[in-house]
């Protein structure tokens, strides 16, 4: 896997979308700077980034809703950089489903076919089949305002599918939904993508959604695509400190790189996996890279006192205060939710060197 | 009684208070129309009512007023929609155009009527321009727009007078809705005309419906512009009403009350048509 | 005119040459021209007419200029001068009284929901929608009974009918978007409902109240039919003067009176737009 994300095209799997050095300006949000990536047919490509990074700008530039100042946008093998939106073959799905309020569900879904002049009989059968596939067959004559939030999302999705776009652009598709509905809509999107072999570009700031929906994830920071990787690679090996921070990795420990590829910090010393220049550096690791053990264990690299227990739906962690020669450091470590130690317990810590990323401290 | 109940009662009472003069007026007009009260009343009788409703003049007046108000409303709605579609953007030109469109917003009807006469009259400014361009040789060649049975002068004047109000509503509709729906239509494959005819216009006219209904009612009831520009046959309904009211023959006063009720009924009918259209045009509120 | 850079309703793609770019440019050019003529033309015409002494067909400019049309400005007691004074006083009274009555009514209606709000809104709309002639004739009997028929007070009461209706609707729309949570918060901070009104609601509504007074002024200012039917020809206001000069063929007098009539509306509109750009709580 190359980090520039340009080598994904597999023979027999033509590219749905290819961006080359795309730059764009837009309003208050950061513009785009030299963004390049490919999305293969039926591939799901997720863009993550903080708000203001240019995520929406990127989607709107692909859709042709804002002009591209430099670079090219190829859709289904054709350069469509300067085409108007309706001739691009890329459907843009707004964050909140924007249904036409004066049309019922059927007519909303039929819209792309009507504007293409498709025959009425064909419209009927195609709309009916798409509505069935999003389980809305019984709602064809409902007006949009009589639908629930999840149903509106499904209508918007059905309307996009019926247009048979080369690439479907989804802008924060789940962010306006409550947790139970998120799961529902996410599954509908993924199911439809599978069924219709859609290429998706999904923008989100939610890392769970990104990991669950993306074949690959691109990280957009300040208008630049900083890393493209599979979810597993990205979360294990963020390419930079700012990406690690975006991924909300809680443990950062300062230290120095000295001599032959070794990093020493107040906690421990360890070999470095990647090459780095000598000098001050920061090591970053996730809570599950830390193992908690009895204070006296031989493998303990340091000891500390548990000061806080954090219960989350997916993971339980403890915050451990470690006293070092250079002051106090807080470490967050994952534990088994079934056997939570008491606050105040003194424990030993061991950090798995293979799951640590070290970045030069700029 | 809870606080909510008391507030609710007060609110309904307040609303009723505002409507009281109208209700009183309707009650008095109704009573006068059937001879129960008023000058020269002789007790309950339907003769005046029947007489008025049997007059050809009255029906011509009603039909003429509906034609003029309807045509002026349609013209103003079309112009307002065009202005909103053409000048919905954010550039300086768009904003200037919008300011120009609503500038005559509060011009009184009587001034509009006076301008109609000065511009559209037989020797008005339009006729002078036509002469200057060599289209006509004398005022007599100018097609009659004023005092003309088709009411073109009144229609143009009322349309000009009501245009700023409808434009204001259309501008705010477009500004409030934003461009997201149009963008969605574009990415779904709709070109400019398809988007205009399938998204922008259907939403615009639905949004303009209440204001257009109000404009129709105002135009129907307007006296001063009609009095300055309309023909004497057929006489606009408000003029006919006032003519009967101030008639020397006091028995005609009852006619005025019948016509008053007729005017109110037409207004109510317009509201009814508005409601019916709203139901049947699937005016979906988001 | 740069069509591509402007319209909000078209896909923004600067380099994409739209098939309709030419149509756009033509529509915008003609649209702007028409709007300019519609807004400025009448004003220019009125100015010319008011200053003309002799202006016969087919002259495009007055053949003789004359200050006669404006003579009333310098003669107190002149018909037009009296009419101006009456109109101003009636308008001011109508604006303030109408606003004071309509404010609580519009606010109360905004708290209703469902069919109750619909019915209440319809009720307050009825005096606005009722044809002024019909309204005037209908209420004249009652105004005569309480002894104000044909007087300035009677005319004021008559003007208040549509004004209160219109301003109630105005305040209804204002309070529908007004977030009353801030009033609730003030109450939990210890303010009485009266204190909330004077220290929170009214200060926040200053622009709306000012605008409402201005609208009330304008409704009275433009009123013709009600004044005619209720005033019975004894209460002279500007619209009546414009009308009768127009009927009498005294174009220059009618034009100067008409110019005076459209000055307050233009000022009010400009002030409202200026204020709208400077406040957060704006009416629908």
- CB within 8 Å of chain B, chain C residues 166-185: 168
Q: What is the DSSP string of A252-306?
A: EEEEEEETTTEEE-SS-EEE-SS---SEEEEEEE-GGGEEEEETT-TT-SEEEEE
Q: Do B108 and C265 touch (CB under 8 A)?
A: yes
Give the pLDDT score at C113. 87
Peptide bond into A124 cis (omega under 30): no
Lookup: tokens for B271: 């509201």
User: How far is it, in rounded angstroms, from Cα A251 to Cα A351?
Assistant: 11
Q: Do C11 and A67 touch (CB under 8 A)?
A: no
**Tens digit of pLDDT per residue, chain A (362 long)?**
334 444 444 455 568 999 999 999 876 656 899 999 999 999 999 999 998 888 989 999 999 988 899 999 999 989 999 998 999 999 999 888 999 988 999 999 999 999 999 999 999 999 999 999 999 999 999 999 899 989 999 999 999 999 999 999 999 998 888 888 888 899 999 999 999 999 999 999 889 899 999 999 999 999 999 999 999 999 888 999 999 999 989 998 888 887 666 777 877 777 665 666 677 888 899 999 999 999 888 888 888 999 999 998 888 999 999 988 778 889 999 998 888 889 999 999 988 888 888 888 76
**Closest alpha carbon to A77 in A199, A166, A194, A198:** A166
Partners of B194 on chain A (C-beta within 8 Å) are 86, 115
Partners of A84 on chain C (C-beta within 8 Å) are 11, 13, 16, 18
Give the pLDDT score at C137. 87
User: How far is it, in rounded angstroms, from Cα C108 to Cα C102?
Assistant: 10
Close Cβ partners of A271 (under 8 Å, ≥ 6 residues apart): A261, A262, A263, A353
Q: Do A65 and C11 touch (CB under 8 A)?
A: yes
A100 part of contact set with chain B, CB < 8 Å:
yes
A25 part of contact set with chain C, CB < 8 Å:
no
ipTM: 0.88
The b/e string for C217-245 (b: 16+ C-beta within 10 A; e otherwise) is bbbbbbbbbbbbbbbbeebbbbbbbbbbb
Give the best residue of B90, B177, B189 to mutate against chain A (max A CB count within 10 A).
B189
The nearest CA of chain C is from the CA of A53 a distance in Å of 21
User: How far is it, in rounded angstroms, from Cα A294 to Cα A346?
Assistant: 8
Give the pLDDT score at A4. 43
On whether the CB atoms of residues A289 and A356 are closer than 8 A, the answer is yes
Partnered with residue A256 across adjacent β-strands are: A264, A280
Q: Which residue of B185, B191, B284 is in closest CB contact with A101?
A: B284
Give the pLDDT score at C75. 73
Chain A, nearest residue to B207 by Cα? A102
On whether the CB atoms of residues C136 and B260 are closer than 8 A, the answer is no
User: How far is it, in rounded angstroms, from Cα A199 to Cα A90?
Assistant: 10
Long-range contact set of residues A254-257: C-beta below 8 Å, sequence gap at least 24 = A254/A280, A254/A281, A254/A282, A254/A361, A255/A280, A255/A281, A255/A282, A255/A283, A256/A280, A256/A281, A257/A281, A257/A358, A257/A360
Give the best residue of A22, A61, A67 to mutate against chain C (max C CB count within 10 A).
A67
Q: What is the DSSP string of chain C?
A: --STTT-TTS---TTS--TTHHHHHHHHHHHHHHHHHHHHHHHHHHHHHHTEEE--TT-SS-SEE-SGGGGGGG-TT-HHHHHHHHHHHHHHHHHHHHHHHHHHHHHHHHT--HHHHHHHHHHHHHHHHS-HHHHHHHHHHHHHHTT-TTSHHHHHHHHHHHHHHHHHHHHHHHHHHS-THHHHHHHHTT--HHHHIIIIIHHHTHHHHHHHHHHHHHHHHH--HHHHHHHTTSS--HHHHHHHHHHHT-HHHHHHHHHHHHHHHHHHHHHHHHHHTT-S----
Q: How far is CA C150 from CA B100, C137, C241, in A?
A: 39, 12, 17
Angle between helices C206-222 and C152-177 (to 10 degrees): 140
Tell me the count of A-B CB pairs closer than 8 A. 79
What element of type H or E holds A320?
strand A316-324
The nearest CA of chain A is from the CA of B205 a distance in Å of 11
Partnered with residue A23 across adjacent β-strands are: A70
Lookup: tokens for A181: 């509905």
pLDDT 10s digits, B155-170:
999 999 999 999 999 9
Q: Do A66 and C15 touch (CB under 8 A)?
A: no
User: How far is it, in rounded angstroms, from Cα A80 to Cα A63?
Assistant: 10
Lookup: tokens for A325: 């020669």
Say yes or no to pLDDT of B114 above 70. Answer: yes
On whether the CB atoms of residues A249 and A239 are closer than 8 A, the answer is no
For the whole model, what pTM was predicted? 0.84
Per the listing, tokens 């939403």 go with B203
Q: Do B242 and C229 touch (CB under 8 A)?
A: yes
Give the pLDDT score at A107. 94
Give the pLDDT score at C279. 45
User: How far is it, in rounded angstroms, from Cα B248 to Cα A58?
Assistant: 78
Give the pLDDT score at A274. 60
Give the pLDDT score at C281. 36
A23 part of contact set with chain C, CB < 8 Å:
no
| Confidence band, pLDDT 50/70/90 cuts, at residue B195 | very high
Residues C148, C152, C153, C159: is their CA dihedral positive or negative?
A: positive
Lookup: tokens for B33: 């129309």
Give the pLDDT score at A175. 86
User: How far is it, in rounded angstroms, from Cα C40 to Cα A165?
Assistant: 50
Partnered with residue A328 across adjacent β-strands are: A323
Close Cβ partners of C29 (under 8 Å, ≥ 6 residues apart): C1
Secondary structure letter of residue B11 according to DSSP? H
Partners of C227 on chain B (C-beta within 8 Å) are none
A84 part of contact set with chain C, CB < 8 Å:
yes
The arithmetic mean of pLDDT across residues B227-255, rounded, is 89
Give the pLDDT score at C277. 55
Per the listing, tokens 């028409």 go with C34
User: How far is it, in rounded angstroms, from Cα B85 to Cα C284?
Assistant: 20
Chain B, nearest residue to C31 by Cα? B83
Greatest CA separation for chain C: 74
Q: Do A67 and C13 touch (CB under 8 A)?
A: yes
Chain A, nearest residue to B280 by Cα? A102
Long-range contact set of residues B130-136: C-beta below 8 Å, sequence gap at least 24 = B131/C57, B131/C58, B132/C58, B132/C60
Give the pLDDT score at B73. 97
Partners of A23 on chain C (C-beta within 8 Å) are none
The nearest CA of chain B is from the CA of C32 a distance in Å of 6
Residues of chain C with pLDDT under 50: 1-19, 279-284
Strands A199-204 and A44-48 turn out to be parallel
HSE-up (13 A, CA, CB side) for residue A234:
29
Q: How far is CA B109 from CA A9, B17, B104, in A?
A: 70, 28, 11
Secondary structure letter of residue A27 according to DSSP? S
Q: Do C138 and B22 touch (CB under 8 A)?
A: yes
The 3-state DSSP class for residue A47 equals strand
Chain A, nearest residue to C4 by Cα? A67
């Amino acid at each position: 896997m190359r980090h520039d994300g340009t080598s994904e095209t597999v023979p027999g799997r033509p590219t749905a979308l290819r961006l080359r050095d795309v730059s764009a300006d837009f309003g208050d949000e950061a513009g785009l700077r030299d963004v390049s990536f490919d999305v293969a047919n039926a591939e799901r490509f997720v863009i993550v980034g903080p708000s203001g990074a240019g995520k929406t700008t990127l989607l709107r530039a692909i859709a042709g809703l804002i002009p591209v100042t430099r670079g090219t946008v190829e859709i289904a093998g054709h350069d469509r950089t300067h085409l108007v939106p309706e001739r691009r073959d890329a459907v843009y799905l707004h964050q909140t489903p924007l249904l036409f309020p004066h049309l019922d569900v059927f007519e909303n879904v039929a819209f792309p076919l009507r504007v293409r002049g498709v025959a009425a009989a064909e419209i009927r059968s195609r709309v009916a089949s798409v509505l069935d596939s999003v389980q809305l067959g019984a709602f064809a004559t409902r007006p949009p305002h009589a639908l629930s939030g999840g149903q509106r999302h499904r209508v918007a999705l059905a309307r996009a599918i019926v247009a048979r776009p080369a690439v479907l652009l989804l802008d924060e598709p789940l962010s306006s939904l409550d947790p139970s509905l998120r799961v529902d809509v996410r599954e509908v999107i993924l199911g439809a993508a599978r069924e219709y072999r859609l290429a998706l570009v999904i923008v989100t700031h939610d890392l769970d959604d990104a990991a669950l929906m993306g074949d690959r994830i691109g990280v957009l920071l300040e208008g630049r695509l900083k890393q493209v990787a599979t979810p597993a690679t990205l979360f294990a090996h963020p390419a930079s400190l700012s990406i690690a921070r975006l991924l909300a990795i809680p443990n950062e420990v300062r230290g120095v790189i000295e001599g032959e590829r070794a990093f020493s910090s107040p906690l421990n010393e360890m070999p470095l996996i990647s090459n780095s220049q000598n000098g001050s550096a920061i090591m970053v690791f996730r809570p599950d890279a830390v193992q908690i053990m009895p204070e006296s264990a031989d493998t303990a690299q340091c000891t500390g006192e548990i000061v806080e227990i954090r219960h989350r739906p997916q993971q339980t962690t403890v915050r451990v205060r470690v006293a070092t020669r250079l002051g106090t450091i807080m470490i967050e470590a994952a534990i088994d939710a079934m056997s939570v130690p008491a606050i105040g317990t003194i424990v030993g810590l061991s950090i798995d060197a293979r799951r640590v990323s070290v970045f030069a401290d700029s | 009684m809870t606080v909510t109940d008391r507030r609710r009662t007060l609110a309904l009472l307040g609303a009723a208070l505002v409507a009281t003069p109208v209700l009183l007026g309707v009650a008095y007009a109704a009573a006068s129309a059937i001879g129960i009260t008023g000058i020269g009343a002789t007790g309950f009788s339907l003769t005046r009512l029947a007489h008025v409703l049997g007059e050809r003049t009255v029906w011509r007046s009603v039909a003429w007023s509906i034609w003029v108000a309807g045509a002026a409303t349609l013209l103003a709605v079309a112009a307002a929609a065009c202005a909103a579609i053409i000048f919905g953007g954010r550039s300086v030109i768009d904003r200037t155009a919008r300011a120009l469109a609503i500038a005559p917003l509060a011009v009184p009807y009587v001034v509009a009527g006076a301008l109609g006469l000065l511009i559209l009259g037989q020797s008005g400014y339009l006729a002078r321009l036509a002469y200057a361009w060599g289209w006509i040789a004398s005022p007599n060649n100018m097609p009659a727009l004023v005092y003309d049975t088709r009411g073109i002068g009144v229609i143009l004047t009322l349309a000009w007078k009501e245009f700023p109000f409808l434009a204001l509503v259309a501008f705010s509709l477009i500004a409030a809705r934003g461009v997201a729906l149009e963008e969605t239509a574009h990415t779904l494959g709709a070109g400019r005309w398809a988007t205009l005819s399938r998204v922008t216009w259907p939403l615009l006219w639905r949004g303009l419906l209440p204001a257009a209904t109000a404009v129709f009612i105002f135009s129907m009831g307007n006296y001063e512009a009609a009095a300055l520009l309309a023909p004497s046959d057929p006489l606009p309904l408000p003029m006919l009403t006032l003519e009967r009211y101030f008639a020397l023959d006091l028995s005609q006063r009852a006619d005025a009350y019948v016509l008053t009720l007729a005017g109110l009924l037409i207004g109510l009918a317009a509201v009814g048509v508005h409601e019916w259209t709203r139901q049947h045009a699937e005016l979906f509120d988001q | 005119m740069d069509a591509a850079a402007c319209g909000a309703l078209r896909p923004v793609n600067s380099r994409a040459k739209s098939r309709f770019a030419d149509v756009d440019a033509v529509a915008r050019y003609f649209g702007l021209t028409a709007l300019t003529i519609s807004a400025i033309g009448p004003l220019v015409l009125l100015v010319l007419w008011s200053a003309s002494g002799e202006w016969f067909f087919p002259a495009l400019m007055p053949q003789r200029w004359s200050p006669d049309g404006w003579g009333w400005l310098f003669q107190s007691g002149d018909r037009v001068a009296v009419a101006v004074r009456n109109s101003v006083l009636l308008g001011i009274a109508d604006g303030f009284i109408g606003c004071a009555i309509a404010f609580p009514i519009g606010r109360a209606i905004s708290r209703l929901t469902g069919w109750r709000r619909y019915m209440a809104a319809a009720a307050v709309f009825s005096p606005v929608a009722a044809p002024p002639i019909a309204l005037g004739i209908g209420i004249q009997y009652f105004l005569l009974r309480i002894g104000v028929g044909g007087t300035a007070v009677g005319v004021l009461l008559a003007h208040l009918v549509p004004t209160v209706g219109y301003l109630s609707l105005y305040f209804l729309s204002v309070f529908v978007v007004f977030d009353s949570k801030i009033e609730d918060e003030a109450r939990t901070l210890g303010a009485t409902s009266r204190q909330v009104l004077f220290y929170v609601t009214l200060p926040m509504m200053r622009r709306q109240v000012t605008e409402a007074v201005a609208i009330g002024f304008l409704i009275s200012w433009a009123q013709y039919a009600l004044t005619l039917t209720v005033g019975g020809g004894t209460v002279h206001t500007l619209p009546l003067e414009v009308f009768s000069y127009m009927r009498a063929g005294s174009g220059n007098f009618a034009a100067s009176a008409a110019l005076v009539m459209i000055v307050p509306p233009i000022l009010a509109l400009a002030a409202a737009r200026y204020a709208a750009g400077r406040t957060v709580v704006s009416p629908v």
